[in-house]
Amino acid sequence: MESSPPSTPSKNWLQAHAQKLIALAFWLALIVAYQLYARANQLTALEVVQNLLDFLKNGLWGPVLYILLYAIRPLILFPSTLLTLAGGFVFGPVLGVLYTILASNTSSTIAYFVGRYFGQGLVNDDGSDGLIQRYARRMRANSFETVLVMRFIFLPYDAVSYLAGFLRIRYVPFILATALGSIPGTIAFIGFGASIERFDGTIPQLNPVTLGFSIAIFILSLLLSRLFKKREGRIDA
């Protein structure tokens, strides 16, 4: 009687996720390294942006540097709002919006695929009724509307991107909702940055007309979020 070959022992959790744990350790090291550098040089996020302003004003390379920094910004958890304001201040309301839309969608894509990488194998739809599974199914069923509302109400930009990737929301609805839903907020914050006529580290001088337009767009974004939230509720019902 032939003996059956010995069964291969199943991998434990650490072995199955070793590559992700190494990637996570590298990512955390990158975040810690930036924080230590900023603390050692007594730099706040605002001071970092102030130091970048001269480089961003540097002709052709300014927009390239701005888009590049904005794209990799989620990896060190640098606040998007400050860079967006800087974009409005340096490039003005028109080019600032164009550069920021390109940069923010690039950064969202990076954050999305980072989240998707770490979520692979962890949040599979196995038909269970757990909280995460139910929320993941809801987001997948209404991907576009859910992400759109999240963008309209200014939920933390990178957190939404990481969450969408982690829960394995389809990329096309995610990026379309991000591109459309971020437009009012981008215009509002770029407008606020463009309204700053002079900034030397003290209280900035603001252009009241541009500032008023920025506030109006901000309010419009909140109204749109309520409209789409009601529509999403009718779809769920």
- Cβ atoms 119, 166 nearer than 8 A: yes
Report if residue 152 sits inside a domain. Answer: yes
Tens digit of pLDDT at every position of the chain (237 positions):
455 555 444 567 676 667 877 888 888 888 888 888 888 888 888 788 888 887 888 777 889 999 999 999 999 889 888 899 899 989 988 999 999 999 999 999 999 999 999 887 666 655 556 666 676 777 778 888 889 888 888 888 899 999 999 988 899 999 999 999 888 889 888 988 888 766 655 556 666 777 777 788 778 877 877 776 666 555 555
Report if residue 11 sits inside a domain. Answer: no
Report if residue 166 sits inside a domain. Answer: yes
Count: domains in the chain? 1
Report if residue 59 sits inside a domain. Answer: yes
Report if residue 156 sits inside a domain. Answer: yes
Domain region containing 116: 20-236
Instruction: Identify the DSSP state of 133.
Output: H
Report if residue 6 sits inside a domain. Answer: no
* Residue at token pair 């981008």: 186
Report if residue 214 sits inside a domain. Answer: yes
Report if residue 126 sits inside a domain. Answer: yes
Q: What's this model's pTM, rounded to 2 decimal places?
A: 0.79
